[in-house]
Amino acid sequence: MIELTELVAGVRAGDRTMLGRAITLLESTRPSDRVAAGELLAACLPQSGQAHRVGITGPPGVGKSTFIDALGTQLTAAGQRVAVLAVDPSSSVTGGSILGDKTRMERLSVDPNAFIRPSPSSGNLGGVGRATRETMIVLEAAGYDVVLVETVGVGQSETVVAEMVDFFLVLALPGAGDELQGIKKGIIEIADLIAINKSDASPGKANHSVRDYTAALRLLSPQSEHWNPPVLSCSALTSDGLPELWQQVELHRRKLQDAGALEPKRAGQQVRWMWSMIDARLQDRLRTTPSVMEQVDSAEAAVRAGTVPASVAADQLLDAFAESLRRES
């Protein structure tokens, strides 16, 4: 068993093996590992916070992995160290996960200045691994300048990722005139930039999409008083438009920093995450309390039969949990 001090030292030194072990510790759900993970995070926090945290989403087929490979390669060529957290959807039946992002990011996967961590969502909200936020802290402590978080682009994953990054990028396909009929308004509202990818294949449609999305954004109130989300076209295949896109990411950061808004944004995200973790862990504890579990089947049966309101059954189970805690104390 590796000592925590050795693990922290390895992370700070940028040792990729130690970094992988640290992330595995963060992803563990064992109670003993959670204690060690907390100590690891506490040790890494002072060296974190300097990286660009960028979330990337888009519908299936938009080319997210190819886009990240091209953008990441551009950034490493400019001297930056890039980490990618690629969250894959876990099977709700088998619990399995298709960890194929490394094969789709051919250049980054062999780049010494890049680190790719595919991690299964394990059924967590929005397909985002529970430890993703903590992993960003460790990656920043390891000296990575940019952390890209790729969401699966389904369900509530977009809002979950947007709540852990500084900049949220939405990729779209050319042909927005058709797409806008069915696109989720909520995604546009939380986007800091919309990029029309694969513009090389259809420049005319891409330009039309830029105009349509720009018009759609004018109908919405910006989520930040310091930033009006732009719409750009780009091509991950040819890298056209990627330098201009990254300039917008850097401009966004400067504007938030100059306005004193970046740190409060991050602090607010952490507080909301704390309450989310409290909710999740309280439910975990409730579900592993024997006196509560003894009543679950009858409570569910009563609710299913319509003889007991769901709210009443919930209170009964919570009362049983509170009684268990009182006995423990």
Residue 61 has phi, psi (to 5 degrees) of 90, -5
Instruction: Verify that 239 and 296 share a domain, yes or no.
Output: no
Range of the domain at 295: 272-328
Q: Which of 234, 259, 284 is the last residue of a domain?
A: 259
Helix spans in the chain (H): 4-12, 16-27, 31-44, 64-77, 101-104, 132-141, 157-162, 176-179, 185-190, 203-218, 242-258, 262-287, 290-305, 310-328
CATH of the domain at 134: 3.40.50.300
Instruction: Verify that 244 and 276 share a domain, yes or no.
Output: no
Q: What is the DSSP letter of 89?
A: P
- Contact by Cβ (8 Å): 90, 128: no
CATH of the domain at 323: 1.10.287
Closest by CA to 87, choosing from 152, 135, 167, 137, is 152
Please list the pLDDT of the chain residue by residue as tens digits (329 residues). Answer: 578 899 999 999 999 999 999 999 988 878 888 889 999 999 999 999 999 999 998 888 888 989 999 999 999 999 999 999 986 554 443 343 444 555 578 899 999 999 998 765 555 544 355 678 899 999 999 999 999 998 876 556 678 888 899 999 999 989 755 555 445 567 788 899 999 999 998 889 999 889 988 988 888 888 888 999 999 999 999 999 999 999 999 999 999 999 999 999 999 999 998 898 888 889 888 988 999 999 999 999 999 999 999 999 999 999 999 999 999 87
Tally of structural domains, the chain: 2
Instruction: Verify that 249 and 300 share a domain, yes or no.
Output: no
Residue 20 lies in a domain: no
Instruction: Verify that 199 and 313 share a domain, yes or no.
Output: no
Give the pLDDT score at 176.
54
Instruction: Verify that 214 and 82 share a domain, yes or no.
Output: yes
Residue 265 lies in a domain: no
Instruction: Verify that 105 and 253 share a domain, yes or no.
Output: yes
Positive or negative, the CA dihedral 279, 285, 288, 292 is negative
Find how far residue 275's CA is from the centre of its chain: 17
Whose structure tokens read 């506490």? 42
Find how far residue 270's CA is from the centre of its chain: 13
- Contact by Cβ (8 Å): 149, 132: yes
